[in-house]
Amino acid sequence: MNPAALFAGGLAAGLAAGAASCAAVQGGLLIGLVSPSGSPRSRPRALAPVAAFLTGRLAAHTALGALLGLAGAVVQVGPRVRAALLVAAGTTVSVLAVRTLRRRRGTGCDGRPPAGCGHGHDEAPCGAPRHPPPSGSSAPALARAATAGMATIFVPCGVTLSMEVVAVSSGSALGGAATLVGLALGTAPALAALGLLVRALASTRLAALAGVAALAAGLFTAGSGLRLGGWLPDLAPPPPGSRTAATGRALTGADGVQRLTIWATAEGFRPGIAVAAAGRPLDIAFRTKDNRGCTRALAIGEHDVVLPVTGERVVRLPAHPEGRLRYACGMGMYVGFVRFERVP
């Protein structure tokens, strides 16, 4: 495929649908890095950690796209590994947020420790100028920001997963790299705005709000990983036959293969609970209609499945023993179940 067309497709996907999706999943890593600076003098440097994050993210997506174009699905990360990485990333962001909030409790106006509070003999009273940190002291922080940006390839949003499939199908390193570079650039404005907004809040009396936002983002990311990996207890499904039970039953064809239709919508999977016979193969037709949400990418078993914006994709499952099969959207927000029952 033409690399220019692949780049344009990735850019359009990032601008149209990836901004909100990727900001929700990967924004927690960025929010955790832009902790309060403590001094108005540091405001001109607000761009530095955000720029480092986006640069690292662009570099990682370029490399991943090239690898996907060359090696295909071999270099893709499975749902369980991705879920563990989401939990690790969310936990790290939450810890950073708590540390930020604890620091803010002991500061005075403009985020500085009040005079005479025991933080050191060289602390200036509130409002007095302080010596700026050495110019090289920000290098570790920028390195951490770039590393966090590179780590976003391990916590992809639903749109990223779909673009990775396009990169695989390109069949070349240049085509795969062009696809994910376009996506990274398309989502960059939303992530940059998020980082600068939080940084601006962190330099004012509303700094505690930035810490709370970082904590919420971290908990959301960790929770998504736990749901995606199936490590959180699922809510008990409604009893069969109740009005609230959205159920569907597979039909068996003449060839002995069961067939089931499930709609992947922006609000979740419909039906949320499906019933099939144990011991028989099952074809699940996942259908979409103008769906640009996270249910376009789903993890079922140990595989990721990417659906079209509008259309259908059939997933063949081998004969399954009696029990329950759980699947989830790529971000772990929505889950669905197939209950396999013994046929008399």
| DSSP collapsed to 3 states, 77-97 | CCHHHHHHHHHHHHHHHHHHH
Residue 96 vs residue 266, higher pLDDT:
266
**CA–CA separation, 304 vs 311, rounded Å?**
17
The pLDDT, as a whole number, for residue 247 is 65
pTM over 0.85: no
Residue 331 vs residue 275, higher pLDDT:
275
User: Is residue 311 within 8 Å of residue 233, measured between CB atoms?
Assistant: no
Name the helix (H) or strand (E) containing 288: strand 282-288
The reply to whether 113 and 220 lie within a common domain is yes
Residue 202 has pLDDT above 50, yes or no: yes
The reply to whether 212 and 264 lie within a common domain is no
* Measured CA distances, 36 to 4, 32, 107 (Å): 40, 10, 11
Q: Domain range for residue 333? A: 247-341
The reply to whether 168 and 23 lie within a common domain is yes
**CA–CA separation, 192 vs 206, rounded Å?**
19
The pLDDT, as a whole number, for residue 254 is 92
Q: At what angle do helices 173-202 and 207-229 cross, to 10 degrees?
A: 140
Residue 200 forms part of a structural domain: yes
**Whole-number average pLDDT of the chain:** 79
Q: Residue 257, exposed/middle/buried by CB under 10 A (0-12, 13-18, 19+)?
A: middle
Residue 308 has pLDDT above 60, yes or no: yes
The pLDDT, as a whole number, for residue 178 is 95
The reply to whether 87 and 191 lie within a common domain is yes
- Read off the CATH number of the domain in which 310 is found: 2.60.40.420
Q: Residue 180, exposed/middle/buried by CB under 10 A (0-12, 13-18, 19+)?
A: buried
- State mean pLDDT over 243-248: 55
Which residue among 165, 194, 229 closes a domain?
A: 229
The reply to whether 217 and 256 lie within a common domain is no
Residue 45 vs residue 220, higher pLDDT:
220
Residue 273 forms part of a structural domain: yes
The reply to whether 198 and 289 lie within a common domain is no
Residue 309 forms part of a structural domain: yes
Residue 258 has pLDDT above 70, yes or no: yes
Per-residue pLDDT reduced to its tens digit, 22-35? 776 777 777 766 65
Residue 15 has pLDDT above 70, yes or no: yes
How many CB atoms are closer than 10 A to CB 185? 17
Where does the pLDDT of residue 45 fall: very low under 50, low under 70, confident under 90, or very high at 90 and above?
low
Residue 236 forms part of a structural domain: no
Which residue among 195, 229, 263 closes a domain?
A: 229
The pLDDT, as a whole number, for residue 221 is 81
The pLDDT, as a whole number, for residue 121 is 44
Report the candidate in 298, 239, 303, 248 with the shortest Cα–Cα distance to residue 270. 248
Which residue among 229, 259, 284 closes a domain?
A: 229
- State mean pLDDT over 287-299: 87
The reply to whether 289 and 188 lie within a common domain is no
The pLDDT, as a whole number, for residue 78 is 78
Per-residue pLDDT reduced to its tens digit, 153-182? 887 777 788 788 788 878 889 999 999 999
The reply to whether 105 and 197 lie within a common domain is yes
Residue 272 vs residue 47, higher pLDDT:
272
Residue 336 forms part of a structural domain: yes
Where does the pLDDT of residue 333 fall: very low under 50, low under 70, confident under 90, or very high at 90 and above?
confident
The DSSP-derived string for 212-231 is HHHHHHHHHHHHHHHHHHT-
Least confidently predicted of 64-68, 108-112, 274-278, 289-293: 108-112
Residue 241 forms part of a structural domain: no
The pLDDT, as a whole number, for residue 133 is 47
The reply to whether 147 and 88 lie within a common domain is yes
The reply to whether 11 and 87 lie within a common domain is yes
**CA–CA separation, 179 vs 189, rounded Å?**
17
The reply to whether 111 and 218 lie within a common domain is yes
The reply to whether 105 and 74 lie within a common domain is yes
**CA–CA separation, 272 vs 328, rounded Å?**
11
Least confidently predicted of 53-57, 105-109, 189-193, 308-312: 105-109
The DSSP-derived string for 121-138 is TTPPPTTS--PPPPGGGG
Residue 61 forms part of a structural domain: yes
Residue 177 forms part of a structural domain: yes
In residues, how long is the chain? 344
Q: Tell me the HSE value of 295 on the side-chain side, using a 13 A CA sphere.
A: 22
The pLDDT, as a whole number, for residue 276 is 95
Where does the pLDDT of residue 237 fall: very low under 50, low under 70, confident under 90, or very high at 90 and above?
low
Least confidently predicted of 175-189, 192-206, 232-246, 265-279: 232-246
* Number of domains, the chain: 2
The pLDDT, as a whole number, for residue 131 is 46
> Across 67-76, 230-239, 263-272, 300-309, which has the greatest mean pLDDT?
263-272
Residue 177 vs residue 205, higher pLDDT:
177
